[in-house]
Amino acid sequence: MSTGKTIRWGVIGAGDIARRFGQGLAHVPDTQIATVWSRRASTADALAQQFGAQSCASLDELLSSDIDAVYIATLHDSHADYAMAALAAGKPVLCEKPATINAAQLEGVLAVARDRKRLFMEAMKPPFYPLYRKLREHLAADPIGDIGLVRAGCSRTDVPADHATFSFEHMCGALLSLGIYEAFLAVDWLGAPLDVQTIGRLGPTGVDSFASLNCRHEQGFAQLFCGLDLHGSGDALLAAPHGHVTIHEPWWNPVRATIRYADGRVVELDHPFEGGGLNYETAHFCDLIRSGALESPVMTHAKSLQMISMMDAARATLGLKFAGE
C-alpha cells in the first residue's frame, strides 16, 4: 500500500526461499532486490541475474552496497551471525525463521539491534496473510471468548533424505524447521509459555524427526506436533468458551477458516492470497522501515523470544544440542 522511496534489498543466501522472496517483491510496491551474496557464487549469480540485481563477491561488499534492508535466507546455523553483521553495518534486517537457533543467540542479535537502533524482525508469515487478519477482525467483532486451547501441527514425508532440513551441521530438524510455526500460533493466541512438556525422537542424522509438545501458557494450553517421518499436513484449532475456530490446512498458509459458535451458528471465512505469501510480511517490514520503527507490533521481539524458548525446552528434553551450545 505504501508509496515513496524504493526499498532496495540485499539478500544473503540464494536458495529456494530467496527466490520465493524475490518473486514476492513483484507484489510489493516500490521494492527491488539490489544485491545478492551467497557462500556459493554460482547460486548468487543466478539469483542476481533472475531479478536484475548485482551479485556480490563477499558479505562485506553486500553490506556496504546501496541497500536499505537485508533479507537473510540462509540455513539456520548462520542466521545469528549474518543478522548481527548486517545490524552492525546499520542495515534493518528481516531474518527467515527461526531467527536464531536458541534464545541466547536471539538475545545477542536483539542487543545489537538496540545498540545500533535498527529494525529487526523474524520473518514469520502467517499473521500477515489476509485470512489470518480477517479472522482476528471477525473475532474482535463477534467473539467466542478468550482462546484457551491451541492445537496445531505439521508433519511431512516429502523432504528428500539429503535435504538440509535433516542436517545436524546446519542445525535443522523438525522443531526449528516446522515446529517454530506452531510455537508462533500458540504464543500469538495464548501468550508466553510457562511449561513445555515434550516427547519425540531423533532421526538417523541426529536431528529431531518427530516431536509432540504439551504446553501451558499464560492464557491457556497448546497441543503441538511437528515431524519429518509421518504425513500430516495439519489444520489448527482455536478453542474458547463460546465457540471454536478451525483454520483449515495448511494453516500456516491460511486461506479458509470455520468458526463454530456454541449457539449453533457457523461462519465460514475465505480469503485467497497472492504472490506466494511472503510478500505480506515483506510489505509490513517495508512500511516499518518507512515509518522509522525499530520493532514490528505484530511480530514482536518478545514473541520471537517466547517461540524460540519453547524450541529450546523441547530440544533439551529430547537431548538435542548443537555445536557451541
Strand partners, 123: 96
Residues 6+ apart with CB under 8 A from 32: 6, 7, 8, 9, 25, 51, 52, 53
What integer pLDDT is reported at residue 148 of this predicted model? Answer: 98
Cα separation, 307 vs 202, whole angstroms: 21
Please check whether residue 203 is in contact with residue 166, taking contact to mean a CB–CB distance below 8 angstroms. Answer: yes
pLDDT given at position 5:
84
pLDDT at 1: 40
Cβ atoms 232, 161 nearer than 8 A: no
- pLDDT (0 to 100) of residue 4: 65
Per DSSP, 266 falls in state E
DSSP structural state of residue 200: E
**pLDDT score for 324:** 87
Identify the DSSP state of 160: -
Q: Mean pLDDT across the chain, nearest whole number?
A: 96
* Segments in the chain below pLDDT 50: 1-2
Write down the pLDDT at residue 317. 98
